[in-house]
Every structure is written in C-alpha cells, then in structure tokens.
Amino acid sequence: MESVVWQGLALSGIFSWIVITCYFDVTKKIRSLLQPWVSHHVVSGTSIILKIQKHQHKFLDALFSGLSCIVSVPFYTAFLPLLFWSGHGKLARQMTLLMALCDYLGNCIKDVVSAPRPNCPPVRRITATKDEEENALEYGLPSSHTLNTVCLSGFLVCYVLSYTQCEDAFVKLGAVTLACLLVGFIGFGRIYLGMHSLIDIIGGLVFGFMILAIWLTVHEYVDAFIVSGQNVTSFWAALSFLLLFAYPTPEFPTPSFEYHTAFDGVVFGIVTGIQQTYHQFHHEAVPRIFTSQLTIPTFLGRMLVGIPTILIVKFCSKALAKWILPVVSNTLGIPIKSTSYIPMLNGSATDKKSSEIKQSSYIHKMPCVVRGRSCPLPLLSPEVVMLLLGIGST
C-alpha cells in the first residue's frame, strides 16, 4: 500500500508541474533570464576557441572526433548490452537508467536555455560523423558529452571500486585520475572541434556532478524498486508518458526531444523485461565474465549473436513505426506531425507544403490550452510509438 501511495504522489507531482509550468509559462521566463547571459559568454568565448584551433592538426581532429564517439548513440548501442552479457546486470540496468536520466535532464536544460553554439564561421566546426552533424543542430549549454562522461565514468569507477572492495588508496587515486583525464579530454575536444564554448563545458561539468551525486544517493532504492517493487510496469509506463509532456518547448525546434524519447523507450523496455525475468536471468548469482562459468569464448559468442540481433531489432522497430503511423493517421484521420523519421504522412502535398514540412522536420509538439495559455504536448510520432512499444531506437 505504501508503494502505491508514493507512486501516486510522484505521478501527481509531475502532472502538477506540467500544469503549473504551462499556466505560468515558466520555460519562457527562465529562458529570458538565462539566455542573454549564456549567449554573451558564448560570444566572448569565441576568442578562446580560435586560439585553441590555431594548433589544429589532422591527428588532433581524428583524436577528438574519436573521443566524441564516447557517450554517443553507437557507443550506447554496443556498451550497455555488453554489461548485461558480462553478467553485471545490476551495473547494466543502473548505467542505462543513469544515462537516460542524463540525456533527459541535459536536453531539458538545453531547450529551456536555448543558448546558441559558437558561430561557424569564424569557428571551425568539425563534424566527422552523422551523429555529430545531428548534435550540432541542438542548443549548446550544457555540453551533453561532458555531462554524460562525468556521470558514466564517475559511476563506473564507484561501481568497480565497490565491487572489487578495493582498499588500496593508490588504486583509487589512479581510477579517479583516469576518469578525470577522460572528462578533461572530452571537454577540451568539444571546444577544439568547435562544438561548444567554455561556458557549455563548465555547465556540463556542474550539472554532471550534481546528477552523479544525486544518483549515487538514490540508485540502490531505484534498483530495488525495479527488481522487486509493485506496479513497476504500469508506473514506469505512466512516468514515461508524463515525461513527454513535461519536456520543455525550445525556442526553435531541435532533435533533442527525439533523443530523449528513443532512450525513454529503451529504458521502458529494459525495466519491463528485468522486472518480469529478474529471478531467471538478471539476479546477482548469474555467471560473470572472467570466471569458469562465463569464459571469454562464451562472452564473445554472446557478442556475435547479440550485436546483430540488436541492430536488426533497431532497424525493424523503426520500420514498424514508419509503417504503423501512416496507417493510423489515414484510417482514423488523426493529425500527425512527423519528425525527421517520416517527411510526410497524410495525403499529397504541394511544393509549398513540402517545404514547410522540411523546415519543421523537428517539430514534435502541438499546443493545447490550459486556462487560455499555450501548453506544449507531444504529438504521436515514430519516437512515441517506439516508446509505447518499449523498443526505442537508441
């Protein structure tokens, strides 16, 4: 009964927050206070970026572009499943939840502040991959790469030291030093690549350490709820749906909402699966890598089977969403505005309409009225369909 009470209070609190922020237009008020200040520091920080980029070299371009792949979508696609297959299920699910939390909160802050990235030109912006090109479409503060690296490396160090019960101060210092070096290289690399200003990196560090500190305080309670709580699936479904509505509307559309929704779908699927199969496959007594029960060849076999399976599911989930939406839209007459997954859904369009759709390819929300005020609500989109299916696309 106590579990039901706090779940109801949590969902009611989020719903109340949605209504309050819509009624009082909280996002725009916060933006009006922070955006000018952040934008000023972005402009003033251009000189620092240009000084750093004077030392440009092909090796540095490749190095920092490669490091940027850490905490990217392809990285998550490979890294998080490896944790499950290695037998460290607790680390895997907690890391997945933490990265989803970082993604949501980081993108929320980006779209609330809606501060620009460094102007290009004069800054030279290097986008070596498609993911980087899409990242450049988002707002700047805070740096998601910096924020996510702080949380990922920090939590990983804490878990490893706790799991190994290491008491050697030298080893602890070495682990923390390596984590700090990784964060430093990532942050410096984002400036070198022209993706962020110094203020964005500082913001990523501050928010990253704040989120990490909070997560280290609550992660055991969250994990206990997932593996043995009541109404886990229904609560998480309601939570995921409300988070769509709680997401702030940016000054101009960006792909940030897509990233959050896709990752939210991944988390929903993982939470549901673990809650239902914990005692069969995800308990603490499962074989772990580097033991006689889980040898390296067996682990490699899991990779050879698992990675292609993930890629196939990812491809099929997107294809399924693309097939479902036009059918639902045309059959029920539901007005659907698509994101970049589907350029057009309903009927034939003129060149003018096609142009408008292209310009608004990242528009994912529609206005509703709360006591005469505009309140953003997410439309049915491929990402939302994948969230409801619990499969995501990250």
Q: Which helix (H) or strand (E) holds 13?
A: helix 2-23
Element (H, E) at 377: strand 373-378
Marked catalytic residue, from 88, 145, 219, 260: 145
- Please give the C-alpha separations between residue 180 and each of 28, 151, 183, 221, 363, in angstroms, as whole numbers: 35, 11, 5, 27, 37
Please answer whether residues 126 and 193 qualify as being in contact, where contact means their C-beta atoms are separated by less than 8 angstroms. Answer: yes
Q: Would you call 145 a catalytic residue per the annotation?
A: yes
289, β-bridge pairs: 294
SS3 289: strand
Whether the CB-CB separation of 95 and 82 falls below 8 Å is answered with no
| Contact between residue 336 and residue 349 where contact means Cβ atoms under 8 Å apart | no
Catalytic residue among 41, 57, 196, 364: 196
* Residue 117, Cβ density class (10 Å: 0-12 exposed, 13-18 middle, ≥19 buried): buried
Residues 304, 307, 312: CA angle, nearest 5 degrees: 120
Catalytic status, residue 283: no
| Structure tokens that stand for 186 in this block | 């990532």
Q: Which residues are catalytic?
A: 145, 196
